[in-house]
Structure 1
Amino acid sequence: MKSKIIKAYGADSPKSDLSEMQITRRDLTAKDVEIDILFCGVCHSDLHTARNDWGGTKYPAVPGHEIVGRITAVGAEVSKFKIGDLVGVGCLVDSCRTCDSCKKDLEQYCLNGSTGTYNGQDVHLGGHTFGGYSESVVVDEAFVLRVPENLDLAAASPLLCAGITTWSPLRHWGVTNGTKVAVIGLGGLGHMAIKLAKGLGASVTLFSRSPEKIQDALDLGADEVIISTDSSQMDKVQGKFDVIIDTVPYVHDVNPYIATLAISGTLVLVGYLGPLEPVLNTVPMILGRRSIAASVIGGIAETQEMLDFCGKHNIVSDIEMINMQNINNAYERMLKSDVKYRFVIDMKSLKV
C-alpha cells in the first residue's frame, strides 16, 4: 500500500521523553478520510502508554486519541463526509464490525478486539497504529465523528475520551431529569461528569477529599460537595444516590461510598484499572441491592450522540492549551494533578 511520511511526537522507549519524529500514514482507501489535526487532548492513558505503565506498549509510541480536525481528502466511496468537514476521532479507529457487540454499536467491547487509535494493530501498513500527536491521520469514515461547529474546537477535543467515558455510564444507567448523581474525584473525567450529568437534568454532588475544590465544583455546576474524609458529611448522604461515577485513577477504598447509594443504586468505576483494595464489604450491597460496575468509553453511535448533545447545550471541557514541544512538562504536571482540567495541544506548533 502506498503511504506518506508526516511529522509526529512520540516516545522511543519507556524511559525517553517524547520528541519529534517521522511516522508513516497510509494513502486513502476507498472508505478513508484524511484529517488535518487542529487540536489533540492529552489523556492519562497517553502518559501510561508512553511510559509502558500498563505493559504491552509498542515503540515508537505516538499517543493522542482526543482528535479534532478538518477533512482534507476523501476516498472514492466515502459518503458520510466531505472535504472541509469538522470532525473528531476518539479512542477507536476500527473493530471487527461483525460480532454481537459491534452489531449493537458497542465497538468498544468488540469481541474480536477493537483497534485503538494508537498502539493498536495496523492492518493496512503492518506494525501498530499512531495517534493524534501528529500532523494528520487517515481513518475509515465509519470511525469518524462529526463535531458541532458551534463548539470551541480546542475545548471540544477532550470530549472524544473524557466526555464519552463519563457520558456512556450516565446514559446506560438511565440518568435523566431528577436523578441523584454523585461524582468521585474532580479531574479531567470528574469535571466532565459534573457538566454532562447537569446537562441531563440530574442533581449532582461531588465527593472530594480536598476542601479547596468546593468552589471549583460549584462553579462547574455541582449542587453540593461532600468532603469524603468527614464522617458527619458522609452520614448525611447515606442512601441518597442513584448513580455514582467514580473517576479516581488509582487504587482507593470504595466501601465508604457504597452506603451512600440508594436502594438499587450503582457505583460505576471509570478511572481505575486493577484490583480493589481493601476488599469489598458486600453487606450494604446485599441489603440494598446495590451494585458496583465499570465502564469504558462508548461506541461510535453513542459518541456521536454525546457530541450532538454537547453541541446543543454548549458543553465542552475546561482546558489549558499547550504547544506540542511542552508535552513532557505537561505529563509531569498531569501526574501532580496540576491542570484544570485537561491539557490540549495546539497542533499548529508541530507544523512550523
Structure 2
Amino acid sequence: MGTTNVKAYGTESADAPLEQMGIQRRSLTVKDIEIDILYCGVCHSDLHTARNDWGFTTYPAVPGHEIVGKVTSIGSEVTKLKVGDFAAVGCLVDSCHTCDNCKQDLEQYCSNGWVGTYNAPDKHLGGMTLGGYSEKIVVDEHFVLKVPGNLDLAATAPLLCAGITTWSPLRHWKVGKGSKVAVVGLGGLGHMGIKLAKGLGAEVTLFSRSPGKEKDAFDLGADAVIISTDDNQMNSVNGKFDLIIDTVPYIHDVNPYVGTLNTNGTLVLVGYLGPLDPFLNTVPMIMGRKSVAGSLIGGIAETQEMLDFCGEHNIVSEIELIKMQDINEAYERMLKSDVRYRFVIDMASLKG
C-alpha cells in the first residue's frame, strides 16, 4: 500500500514534549475519505496517552480524536461525502462490522475490538494509528461524519468526543422534557452535558465542589448549582435526579451523589477509569433500585444524530483556539483546569 508523508505533532516517549514529526498516511482504498484537518480538539485522553498514564501507549504517539476538516479526496466507492464537504472524525476509525454490537450501531463496544483514532493497531499500514494532531487523515467512510453547515467548525471539534460522551448516556437513559438531570464537574465534558441535556428539554443542575462556577453554569443553561461539599445543599436535592452524568476524570467519592438519585435513578460515570475509592455503599442503591453505570463515547449513527441535533439547536462547545506549537503549554494548563472549556488546535499553524 502506498503512503503520503504529512506533518504531525507527537511524542517519542512518556516524558518527552510533543514536537513536530513526519508521519505516513495510507493511499486511499475504494471506501476511504482523505480529510485536510482544519481543527482538532484537545482531550484529557490525548494527554493521558502522550504521557502513558494508562500504561499502554506505543510510541511514537500522535494524539487527537476531535477532528474537523475538509474532504480533499475520496475512494471510488464512497457515497457518503464528496470532495469539498466538511467532515468530522471522532474517537473511532474502524471496528469489525460483524459482531452483534456493530450490527446495532454500537461500534464503541465492538466485541472484536474497535480501532481508536490513535494508539490502536493499524490494520492497513501496521504499527499504530496516528491521530488528528496532523495535516491530513485517511479514514473509512463509515467512520466519517457530516458536519451541519451552520455550525462553527472550530467549536464543533469537541463534539466528537466531549459531546458524544455526554450525548450517549442522555439518549440511552431517555432524557427529555421534564427529566431531572445533574452533571458532576464543569470541564470539557461537563459543559457539553449541560448544553445537550438542556437542549433535550431537561431540568439541569450542576454539582460543583467549590463556589464560583455558578455564573458560568447558568450562562451554559443550568437551572441550578449545588455545592457538593455543603451538606445542607446536598440534602436539599436528596432523591431528586433521574440521571447524573459524572464527568470527573480522577478518583473521587461517588457515594454522596447516589443519595440524590430518585427511585430507579442512575449515576453514569463517563470521566474516570479505575477502581472506586471509597467503595460504593450499596444500601441507598438497594433501597431505591438505583444504579451506578458506565458509558463510553457513542456509535457512529448516534454521533451523527448528535451532530444533526446540535445543528438544529445551534449547540457547539465553548473553546479557546490555540496554535499547534502551544500544545505542551496547553497540556499543563489543562492539568490545572485552566481552560473554558476545551482547547482546539487551529491546524493552519502546523501547515505554515
When the two structures are superposed, what TM-score results if normalisation uses the length of structure 2?
Answer: 1.00
CA–CA distance in 2 between the matches of 1:200 and 1:4?
43
* Correspondences of 1:190-339 after superposition (within 5 Å): 190-339=190-339
C-alpha offsets along residues 258-307 of structure 1, whole Å, 9 cap, x if unaligned? Answer: 11000000000000000001011111100000000000100000000000
Q: Which amino acid in structure 1 is aligned with residue 45 of structure 2?
A: S
C-alpha offsets along residues 183-220 of structure 1, whole Å, 9 cap, x if unaligned? Answer: 00000000000000000000000000111111110111
Q: Which residue of 1 aligns with 2:104?
A: 104
CA–CA distance in 1 between the matches of 2:86 and 2:146?
6
SS at match of 2:215: helix
Q: Which residue of 2 aligns with 1:126?
A: 126
| Deviation (angstroms), 1:338 | 0.2
CA–CA distance in 2 between the matches of 1:103 and 1:143?
14
CA–CA distance in 1 between the matches of 2:24 and 2:55?
24
CA–CA distance in 2 between the matches of 1:80 and 1:12?
36
Q: Which amino acid in structure 2 is aligned with residue 115 of structure 1?
A: V
CA–CA distance in 2 between the matches of 1:281 and 1:124?
47
CA–CA distance in 2 between the matches of 1:350 and 1:160?
21
C-alpha offsets along residues 242-263 of structure 1, whole Å, 9 cap, x if unaligned? Answer: 0000000001001001110000
Q: Which amino acid in structure 2 is aligned with residue 86 of structure 1?
A: F
* Correspondences of 1:127-166 after superposition (within 5 Å): 127-166=127-166
C-alpha offsets along residues 151-178 of structure 1, whole Å, 9 cap, x if unaligned? Answer: 0100000000000000000000010001
| Deviation (angstroms), 1:79 | 1.0
| Deviation (angstroms), 1:48 | 0.2
CA–CA distance in 2 between the matches of 1:300 and 1:37?
19
| Deviation (angstroms), 1:240 | 0.3
CA–CA distance in 1 between the matches of 2:326 and 2:4?
26
Q: Which residue of 1 aligns with 2:70?
A: 70
When the two structures are superposed, what TM-score results if normalisation uses the length of structure 1?
Answer: 1.00
CA–CA distance in 2 between the matches of 1:170 and 1:209?
23
SS at match of 2:182: strand
Q: Which residue of 2 aligns with 1:87?
A: 87
C-alpha offsets along residues 211-233 of structure 1, whole Å, 9 cap, x if unaligned? Answer: 11111101110000000000000
SS at match of 2:157: helix
SS at match of 1:212: coil
Count of residues in Structure 1 that have an aligned counterpart in Structure 2: 352
CA–CA distance in 2 between the matches of 1:245 and 1:80?
33
Q: Which amino acid in structure 1 is aligned with residue 271 of structure 2?
A: G
CA-atom RMSD in angstroms? 0.4
Q: Which residue of 1 aligns with 2:43?
A: 43
CA–CA distance in 1 between the matches of 2:147 and 2:81?
12
| Deviation (angstroms), 1:56 | 1.1
Q: Which amino acid in structure 2 is aligned with residue 127 of structure 1?
A: G
Q: Which amino acid in structure 1 is aligned with residue 192 of structure 2?
A: M
| Deviation (angstroms), 1:64 | 0.2
Q: Which residue of 2 aligns with 1:18?
A: 18
The alignment-based identity, stated in percent, is 74
* Structure 1 residue ranges, 4+ long, deviating more than 3 angstroms after superposition: none
CA–CA distance in 1 between the matches of 2:311 and 2:230?
38
